[in-house]
Every structure is written in structure tokens, then in C-alpha cells.
């Protein structure tokens, strides 16, 4: 039983996806930015619990800035690449500044966790009741990696555009030998 609605199946889906990427190669870094946002926002409970337990100076502000700039970086990113226009340099600069702030805040927060669990007087033990602290620390490292990858991929958007344009996505139409039989007549 053939599917007349989708005659090409998986290969046609791949071809259409590549055509879409050729038109907007900035989709690739946007996917990584979205993954980084999801990593942080879905683990926000661990961040909040760690902040409440450790109560380090600036930890709450650091978590707030990371979440705020994660949202605002999407806005800057989407405004950086308007349709059928040149990239908006000001928005790109703001985007990279926000990525830098996000990475700085993640590193600062991770250092607060490290200081709290390794301090001389009353270190916070990492056991089953405080497992969220180690989860938050591990998540911050993964978040930094994904934010950095999205920044590097954003810098490489022109390279992706050139490489994707080299991929042949045109459809091959078979004539089945009937082209000679068609006559053009004027009425």
C-alpha cells in the first residue's frame, strides 16, 4: 500500500529539511540555544533548592540573571537574523554579551557551590538529602557547554550557509520517454 499523500517518505522529509536549513541556517544554533534553555529551566528546582540551602552571596541574583538572559537571548537571536535581510549587528552583539553573562553567572554559581561544600567550618555534606546540590552543579557544567556551543555555532552561521548551499536538493524528474510525443499547437 503506497502512501499517495507522502510519495517520497523519509527521503523527501530529509530533502525538505535541508532546503529549510539552506534558507535559514541560523536554525542550527537556535536549536542548541533552545536545548540550553530547556536544560536550565527544567532543572530550576535544583538551582532554587541549592540557593535556599547554601545561601551564598549573589547566588539568587546569579540564578535570576541566568534565567532572564536565557529568555532575552532568544529575543536578541531572533531579531539578529531578520528574514531576507542582512544580520542585525547590534542584536548579535547584545546576544553575545548575554551569552557571556550567562556563562559568567553559571561559573559564579558553581564556585559558590564548591565553596559551600569545601569550606572549613560547617561544610554542607553531599548525601541523599542534599543530592540536588550535586545535580545543580553537574547541570551548570552541561548548561555552560550548550551555551558555548550555541555561541560558536552562531559565529559559524555564514559558513553553514555556504556549505549548505553546495548540497544539491533539486528533484530529479523522469520523463519516461514521452516528451517527444508532446506537440505544441497554437490555437
Looking at residue 9, the DSSP 8-state letter turns out to be: T
The pLDDT assigned to 15 comes to 77
> Between 158 and 4, whose confidence is greater?
158
Residue 49 contacts residue 132 (beta carbons within 8 Å): yes
Say if residue 152 is exposed, middle or buried (CB neighbours under 10 Å; 0-12, 13-18, 19+): exposed
- Cell digits of residue 15: 530533502
Confidence tier at 2 by pLDDT (50, 70, 90): very low
Give percent of the chain with pLDDT exceeding 90: 55
Consecutive H or E run containing 97? helix 89-118
pLDDT at 3 over 50: no
Compute the mean pLDDT over every residue in the chain, rounded to the nearest whole number.
86
The pLDDT assigned to 182 comes to 56
**For the segment 60-107, what is each residue's pLDDT rounded down to a tens digit?**
999 999 999 999 999 999 999 888 788 899 999 999 999 999 999 999
- Cell digits of residue 124: 554542607
The pLDDT assigned to 8 comes to 66
**For the segment 20-69, what is each residue's pLDDT rounded down to a tens digit?**
777 888 889 999 999 999 999 999 999 999 999 998 899 999 999 999 99
Amino acid at each position: 500500500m503506497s502512501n499517495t499523500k507522502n510519495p517520497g517518505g523519509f527521503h523527501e522529509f530529509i530533502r525538505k529539511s535541508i532546503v529549510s536549513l539552506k534558507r535559514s541556517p541560523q536554525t542550527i544554533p537556535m536549536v542548541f540555544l533552545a536545548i540550553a534553555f530547556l536544560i536550565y529551566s527544567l532543572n530550576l528546582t535544583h538551582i532554587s533548592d541549592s540557593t535556599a540551602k547554601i545561601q551564598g552571596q549573589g547566588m539568587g541574583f546569579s540564578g535570576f540573571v541566568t534565567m532572564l538572559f536565557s529568555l532575552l537571548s532568544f529575543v536578541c537571536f531572533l531579531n539578529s537574523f531578520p528574514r531576507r535581510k542582512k544580520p542585525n549587528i547590534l542584536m548579535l552583539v547584545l546576544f553575545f554579551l548575554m551569552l557571556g553573562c550567562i556563562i559568567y553567572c553559571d561559573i559564579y554559581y558553581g564556585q559558590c557551590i564548591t565553596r559551600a561544600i569545601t569550606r572549613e567550618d560547617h561544610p554542607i555534606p553531599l548525601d541523599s538529602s542534599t543530592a540536588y546540590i550535586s545535580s545543580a552543579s553537574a547541570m551548570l557544567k552541561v548548561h555552560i557547554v550548550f551555551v558555548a556551543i550555541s555561541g560558536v555555532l552562531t559565529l559559524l552561521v555564514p559558513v553553514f550557509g555556504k556549505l549548505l548551499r553546495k548540497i544539491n536538493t533539486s528533484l530529479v524528474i523522469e520523463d519516461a520517454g514521452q516528451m517527444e510525443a508532446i506537440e505544441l499547437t497554437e490555437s
